[in-house]
Amino acid sequence: DAGITQSPRYKITETGRQVTLMCHQTWSHSYMFWYRQDLGHGLRLIYYSAAADITDKGEVPDGYVVSRSKTENFPLTLESATRSQTSVYFCATYRGREQTQYFGPGTRLLVL
Amino acid sequence: QQQVKQSPQSLIVQKGGISIINCAYENTAFDYFPWYQQFPGKGPALLIAIRPDVSEKKEGRFTISFNKSAKQFSLHIMDSQPGDSATYFCAAEYNDYKLSFGAGTTVTVRA
């Protein structure tokens, strides 16, 4: 039972490059979320999805794009990376039985 | 703008002591208040949660106190252990199960 996997776990890129962070779940949960974690800010919601082909913005969506063609996958794309997007990115799904979000292991992204 | 304000930013407690973390919110649309625990290099994991119609919830050494009129809630860690050393986040849930997180509190338990 792998749950949620994120790839890559670590990524170094340069300003202006496009980067895609992958998120895969094995449970078929409807809701999926992308957060970024920065010191002093906790976790902030970037985008979320209620089901395949249904996505919506969170608190800090600028500079990010998401898609969800399949229930199990929810990729996050930085179209033109900026240094301010250096962060740890977490993907999560909503588990109704426990009434909680279950988080993946995170992707550490450094934009030079 | 942080919708959930959390304090303190960090705290140090002796083994066996009590850790207290406080959170406050303004948005009355929040209807579920979970606490997450995060260890270095890992994703946050649910620790304990409460709904606003309950004033207190206890699970083992962890207790949430909730004051709806004051829009405040707190986490108490009793008999703190070195294994409790982690970062704790309060959060508040609103429509579509979205979460607004506090900034986090790093707890260090000294043996």
User: Looking at CA atoms only, how far is residue B17 from chain A in angstroms?
Assistant: 25
Could you say which of 1.20.120.1200, 2.60.40.10, 3.40.50.280, 3.40.109.40 is the CATH number of the domain covering B4-110? 2.60.40.10
CB contacts, 8 Å: B98 with chain A: 33, 45, 48, 58
Query: Is B50 within 8 Å of chain A by CB?
Result: no
> Per-domain residue ranges for chain B?
4-110
Contact by Cβ (8 Å): B31, B50: no
Q: Do A45 and B42 touch (CB under 8 A)?
A: no
Closest Cα to residue B87, out of B23, B44, B34? B44
Q: Residue B1 above 70 pLDDT? A: no
Give me the half-sphere count of Cα atoms (radius 13 Å) on the Cβ side of residue A23: 32
Count of domains for chain A: 1
Q: Residue A1 above 60 pLDDT? A: no
Based on C-alpha coordinates, what's the Rg of chain A? 13
The 10s digit of each residue's pLDDT in B78-106 is 999 999 999 999 999 998 899 999 999 99
Distance CA B100, CA A25 (A): 22
The 10s digit of each residue's pLDDT in A13-35 is 999 999 999 999 999 999 999 99
The 10s digit of each residue's pLDDT in B20-78 is 999 999 998 999 999 999 999 999 999 999 999 999 999 999 999 999 999 999 999 99
pLDDT value, residue A99: 84
pLDDT value, residue A98: 80
Closest Cα to residue B47, out of B104, B95, B105, B88? B88
List the single best residue of A21, A101, A102 to mutate versus B (max B Cβ within 10 A): A101
Q: Which domain holds residue A75?
A: 4-111
The 10s digit of each residue's pLDDT in A60-102 is 999 999 999 999 999 999 999 999 999 999 999 998 888 889 9
Q: Do B43 and A92 touch (CB under 8 A)?
A: yes
In this structure, what CATH number is given to the domain that contains residue A29?
A: 2.60.40.10
Burial string for B45-67 (b: 16+ CB within 10 Å, else e) reads ebbbbbebeeeeeeeeebbbbbe
